[in-house]
Structure 1
């Protein structure tokens, strides 16, 4: 099976992605949403909170599992996708578009160097 892995973003081993332009937009990969199955609930922090690289910041719950969400980079949350409260299925339907989770103002640009590019991520999930 082939998964969509846009090359305009970076990826964590735990399947979160981050755009490289600011504000940094964060979500989960097409592979991750497929593995989870139908997403029924997403728990996210509040605007103004800070998240830390490689630390849990929220939870995604599906019909199969409850999974922690990990921060690809550190920063202050400048936007939360409130649409997910009423439509958590957006994570399944459009993981790189309407199903995004957070936008942050990054505090350490060097953390991007630790993330995988699309080719490295695709090799990991193959």
Structure 2
């Protein structure tokens, strides 16, 4: 159940990432290495800390909703959250950055508050 749901969230995060990269006119060669490095780091940290927390007994999972695939003690479904964060962070940043630059260029920017 959670594995299938993870695929939908990953698809949505990937779409936001691609839309943001297109809106921000990011070159694939310029963003590939930083995104790959962030993904590797996040997945590695997820593997380490999820395993430590599960081993310490801080939490556990009901097995009836999981696929059964694990990396150590951590279910594979946990890694989708880290991957989504890596994709959503820059994707949303680029989308909002592109939106702000378009507003600034069209004269629809918010006027400064002179009452302060």
User: Which of the pair is proportionally richer in helix?
Assistant: 2
Question: Which structure has the higher relative contact order (CA within 8 Å, separation 6+)?
Answer: 2
Q: Same fold per TM (> 0.5)?
A: no
TM-score tier after normalising by the smaller chain length: under 0.3
Structure-1-length-normalised TM-score: 0.22
Structure-2-length-normalised TM-score: 0.23
Q: Rg: which structure is higher?
A: 2
User: Which of the pair is proportionally richer in strand?
Assistant: 1
